[in-house]
Structure 1
Amino acid sequence: MATFEFMLPYYGDVGLMQAAVRSILGQTDPDLRLTVVDDGKEPDVPGWFAELGDDRVRYLRNEHNLGITRNFQKCVELSTADHVVIMGCDDLLHPHYLETVRAILKANPDLGMVQPGVEVIDGEGVVTAGLADNVKGRIYAPSVNGRRLMGGEELAASVLRGNWMYFPSICWRGEALRAVNFRDEYSVIQDLALVVDLLERGEQMMVDNTTTVFQYRRHAVSESSVQAFSGTRFTEAERYFNAVAERMEARGWPKAARAAKVRSASRFHAITMIPGALRRGQRDGVRTLARHAFTSGQRHEG
């Protein structure tokens, strides 16, 4: 049985999903398993997987649409390998992703998470760097020259200040991931919540920028950005940051608690979304975005 498993929660563009699958199966290290959990109804998808003829691939289609969070949870529950990647169905791997990550894990067998080198591509597959990714890289991402081991309050404070990670690229220790899974109450900020939960359990992350092995696709319009213009994602973010700030204080991690209260990257993101919400006539969204951007972070929703 393969010790490394890619879980692919799928819904959306068939061609992009097929490219993602090919990038997984084209790894220089072939010792892997791929499980696809299809949350859609595209008619030709089951047949395409049947024709692959690769016994490393397991394809499952949900009887009913589960939605993002529940399908992610199902992927975690179905995983069995020692190490797991919950990959985006429109992202791409460089051929040496698995070879690179496996070498890191061989040298650091107890790691809970590996954040490898990532480049951002647009909907056409062209390498790009927009405002969000420039801010991530230049302001919020930690200084890493090669590899850096992080954990505890240091990493919690860092990601709560600004979530610089690229979640679909992260390799997780399977046992730790399955013990925590995604929280039911979050649909947009669930990746950050999962990492903080793991840090509270003592897990550590190796951040590696020695080589680029993953392509993260950022579309001009995505489900998360649609929610952003209406303010939905920031209502969820506010609820999460208020709750996690209390947990960090109770744990004795004051820097992490302060980062959650200030939540500077989330505030900045809300500010950048206000013009778009105005153009779309989203008055309620503008109010929600402005409140998230300019209030102190101390107020709790009822």
Structure 2
Amino acid sequence: MSVHRDVRFLDAAVDSLLGQTLGDFELLLVDDGSPHAERLRALAERDRRVRLVVNDRNLGLTVSLNRAAGLARAPVIARMDADDISHPDRLAAQYERLSAQPGLTVVGSNYVAVDTGGAPLRTIRLPEEDAAIRWTALFANPFCHPATLFRAADFHAAGGYDERLACAQDYDLWMRLLRRGQGANLPVPLLRYRINDQGISATRKVEQEAVAGAIRRVEWLSCGVGDLDPERVAAPVWRLQTGAPACDPSDTLALTLATLRLLDGLAARDSRNVAGLRETLAAVARRVLWTAVAALGWRLAGGWDGRRLLALAARFDAPEVAACLALGRSRAARRWAARPPDFDFACTGHAVPGAGVVPWTELSGFAGVWIYGAGEGGRAVLRVLRRLRGCRVAGFVDSVRRGGFEGLPLLSRADFLARPATGRAVVIASGAWREILEGLGGLAGQGLFVADVEGDLRLYRVPPPPGGSGSADQDGIAAGRTGNQRVEADGCPG
């Protein structure tokens, strides 16, 4: 743990470590040129396990972490920031997993994002298994840095943190550790991650995104798709998995081909070291292919691009997709695409506790779809719905406003709730979905969905709970996961 200026939450962070159920550890507390030397010394004197390391000047986070890792005497290293809180079982659970799986090089966990006062904001779900982590890593950071634990030998063999990087140094490290072995995230949230306006993620956001983009570009190049620009296509390629086709048919086709090439390149690069990788990635390939066929239908039959898709479908063992491609059977493709996803693409989805991820094609089964949110989020959802065959957009809903929006009716919430509800669906297209759910009262018996308009346009179906409230407990720490949720990690797409 490195400390520079912000010590508002330091005591609570250290206390959460000293209270671990696994008590055999040392806490290397780095004073990185802070003005709080006396306070840090006092912390070190409280417990013999706290070992103070003092830099003669401010060296920055990356150098400080390398220095601490070089001084560490244990065979395993864990990371945490000075404003976060570890669950009491964190070290024990992660160490048990690392010990039970010799091929693991790094293990993280899901986490709960909290505000500066410690109030939970949302539970964040990360990809759990190695194959999902490798695929996610091509788009975003697959680990929460202060929630990780890794072997010291692997860390040093990989070269440690790159001291040329002032931020996103963890994203770079994971790429090198995953070359040496496997990764995993525990499904239980074991960290409270504080959203801190004085942290690096807030103060150096532009630089962090630029560094993450450079790392991503290197990874795509290593998968043999150096002609693709990840900064231009990474976000729409990721969204294709959610069943949201691109605005233009030719773009959908190009993105589908790009996705399949990327999947094929990752499988070729890592399959030798990762058992079952191609089989796992095949599930992603099938979902993307169904999205393309459902959106384009007969236009894919024949032609050079159609033959390329057929060849790639065969490589990923997707005979049903290949048949639809060959015959241009968009109706059959839509039926297949409406099935629940047969792969786990956790990452970059807003946490909607109790809600399951569903493909956008599920909305084609309703007599009318209303979009709650007459703003940019609503426009994004409208663009997706207009590309779905058989989807009937009825209009927009707003808490108060009424009239029209984007050429469609705009109803106030009161007017909307007073209308007959048979066969209609509501898609909430706003970051304030919790408050909207409460205002709608659950909409029992109707289709109720939340679109991740601030992330990757993932669609969640919300089951209306008994009693009518659509909200749920956000504090999921150590209680397991309840649904696919969002990653807010360095380099996150969207």
Q: TM-score, normalised by structure 1?
A: 0.69
Relative to 1, partners in 2 of residues 1:32 and 1:186: Cα closer, same or farther, differing over 3 Å?
same
Equivalent of residue 157 in structure 2, options 171, 179, 190: 179
* CA distance in 1 between partners of 2:68 and 2:98 (Å): 22
How far apart are residue 245 of structure 1 and its match?
Answer: 2.7
Equivalent of residue 232 in structure 1, options 200, 207, 213: 207
Q: Does 1:155 align with 2:149?
A: no
How far apart are residue 104 of structure 1 and its match?
Answer: 1.6
SS of the aligned residue for 2:107 comes to strand
SS of the aligned residue for 1:161 comes to coil
Relative to 1, partners in 2 of residues 1:208 and 1:68: Cα closer, same or farther, differing over 3 Å?
same
For the pair shown, the structure with the greater C-alpha radius of gyration is 2
Aligned length: 235
SS of the aligned residue for 1:112 comes to strand
SS of the aligned residue for 2:204 comes to helix
SS of the aligned residue for 1:44 comes to helix
Instruction: Name the residue aligned to 1:212.
Output: 189
Instruction: Name the residue aligned to 1:71.
Output: 64
Q: In structure 2, give the amino acid aligned to 1:71.
A: S
Instruction: Name the residue aligned to 1:120.
Output: 113
Equivalent of residue 48 in structure 1, options 42, 53, 56: 42
* CA distance in 1 between partners of 2:103 and 2:216 (Å): 29
Q: Does 1:105 align with 2:98?
A: yes
How far apart are residue 234 of structure 1 and its match?
Answer: 3.2
How far apart are residue 178 of structure 1 and its match?
Answer: 1.8
How far apart are residue 100 of structure 1 and its match?
Answer: 1.5
How far apart are residue 258 of structure 1 and its match?
Answer: 7.9
How far apart are residue 155 of structure 1 and its match?
Answer: 3.0
* CA distance in 2 between partners of 1:43 and 1:115 (Å): 31
Equivalent of residue 199 in structure 1, options 178, 197, 200: 178
Contact 2:201 / 2:208 at 8 angstroms: preserved in 1? yes
Q: Which runs of 5+ in 1 are unaligned?
A: 1-7, 143-147, 269-302
SS of the aligned residue for 2:130 comes to strand
Relative to 1, partners in 2 of residues 1:221 and 1:14: Cα closer, same or farther, differing over 3 Å?
closer
Q: In structure 2, give the amino acid aligned to 1:219.
A: N
How far apart are residue 90 of structure 1 and its match?
Answer: 1.0
Instruction: Name the residue aligned to 2:18.
Output: 25
How far apart are residue 81 of structure 1 and its match?
Answer: 1.4
Relative to 1, partners in 2 of residues 1:235 and 1:103: Cα closer, same or farther, differing over 3 Å?
closer
Instruction: Name the residue aligned to 2:235.
Output: 264
Contact 1:9 / 1:89 at 8 angstroms: preserved in 2? yes
Q: In structure 2, give the amino acid aligned to 1:115.
A: G
How far apart are residue 248 of structure 1 and its match?
Answer: 3.5
Instruction: Name the residue aligned to 1:82.
Output: 75
Match runs of 1:281-296 below 5 Å? none
* CA distance in 1 between partners of 2:168 and 2:45 (Å): 36
Indicate the structure with greater helix content.
1
Relative to 1, partners in 2 of residues 1:261 and 1:72: Cα closer, same or farther, differing over 3 Å?
farther
* CA distance in 2 between partners of 1:111 and 1:260 (Å): 30
Identity of aligned residues (%): 25
How far apart are residue 122 of structure 1 and its match?
Answer: 1.4
How far apart are residue 214 of structure 1 and its match?
Answer: 1.4
Relative to 1, partners in 2 of residues 1:60 and 1:263: Cα closer, same or farther, differing over 3 Å?
same
Q: In structure 2, give the amino acid aligned to 1:42.
A: H
Higher relative contact order (CA 8 A, sep 6+): 1
* CA distance in 1 between partners of 2:192 and 2:66 (Å): 23
Relative to 1, partners in 2 of residues 1:74 and 1:263: Cα closer, same or farther, differing over 3 Å?
farther
Q: Which runs of 5+ in 2 are unaligned?
A: 240-494
Relative to 1, partners in 2 of residues 1:12 and 1:206: Cα closer, same or farther, differing over 3 Å?
same
Query: After TM superposition, what 4+ stretches of structure 1 lie above 4 angstroms from structure 2?
Result: 257-261
Contact 2:116 / 2:194 at 8 angstroms: preserved in 1? yes
Relative to 1, partners in 2 of residues 1:260 and 1:215: Cα closer, same or farther, differing over 3 Å?
same
Equivalent of residue 199 in structure 2, options 209, 219, 222: 222
Equivalent of residue 170 in structure 1, options 139, 145, 148: 148
Q: In structure 1, give the amino acid aligned to 2:130.
A: M
* CA distance in 2 between partners of 1:20 and 1:37 (Å): 14
> Which 10-residue stretch deviates more, 157-166 or 63-72?
157-166
